[in-house]
Amino acid sequence: MAAIAWIGLGHMGAPMAGHLVAAGHEVRGVDPVPEARAAAAEQGVQVVDTIAEAVDGADAVFTSLPRNEHVREVYGGDAGIWATTPAAALLLDTSTVDVATSRFCHETSAARGFAFVDAPISGGIAGAAAGSLTFMLGGEADAVRRAVPLVEPMAGHVFELGGPTMGIAAKLANNLMLFVSLVGLAEGSQLAEQLGLDAATFFEVASVSSGESWPLRTWYPVPGVVTTSPANRNFDATFSTVLAEKDLSFALAAGDGAGLHLPGAHLALDQFERLIDEGFGGKDCSLIVKYASADGSLPWFDPEAPPVG
């Protein structure tokens, strides 16, 4: 079994690290947020105070961080991963970043003698808790082969996608499809409501028809239909709008660089930006359903209510 360092013990990182503990690995973790540290400790992670303590003697180092700047700082800072980690350790970043940041991590890791794998994930908080995430691995072939058995305890599916940045390329393309599908779900669910269809019955119809999709199964934006839907909890976030806006912005930047025309993605991004402008950036991205309603409001959403639970 391996000695593993885990940097970033948030809603995704803590349960993921916990699955590695359950698989028999020794896991030391770091996070600045007390609640995150406590949650990881409950999962059996040895919580320490610094990156240097976490990576001491590590065979592998995972990062699970919110944004580009956090990844760059954690890897490149004076007390960061490259400065403190044994050169033999495999580095794996599960964060969703832009292609340029992933390329920076690959190139700088190689220059400093490290093997690095971009290892973004799909499946959300529920998938992290269940150990059923999809891992998308990009990197040099030997590094990716080393990564596969390490990620398997957290995964339902593991894909080896090719060279450096191919994992993040798959993640950004996948999330673009997710968010464009979410716009269709929002509009279709509201049309069904206004035409008088029972929401649960229409969900059953769409689930076995051409409207079927991951957001329909997971985020159907009417309460009482899907147990995992944020609509049941006043749209408290499972995938926050600020993170959706970030991921889709990265995908569109990659599309712009390739000279593509992506009008559906731009529409979804516009709706996420509107939610953020209205102060709902911390709410679930599926709250864009309110823009499909007749007056921009929903009877099951109270903008003044505190978070549930």
Give the dihedral sign, CA 163/19/39/5. Answer: negative
- The answer to whether residues 257 and 247 touch, using CB atoms and an 8 Å cutoff, is no
Is residue 51 classed exposed, middle or buried when 0-12, 13-18 and 19+ CB atoms within 10 A define those classes?
buried
Distance between CA atoms of 132 and 165, rounded to whole angstroms?
22
- The answer to whether residues 29 and 12 touch, using CB atoms and an 8 Å cutoff, is no
- Residue 129, C-beta contacts closer than 8 angstroms, at least 6 positions apart: 15
- Cα 244 from chain centroid (whole Å): 9
Active site residue 171: yes
Q: Write the DSSP symbol of residue 280.
A: -
Q: Which of 171, 246, 283, 290 is catalytic?
A: 171
Please report which residue ranges of 166-282 form alpha helices under DSSP H: 166-194, 199-207, 214-219, 241-257, 263-277
Report, as residue numbers or ranges, the catalytic residues: 171
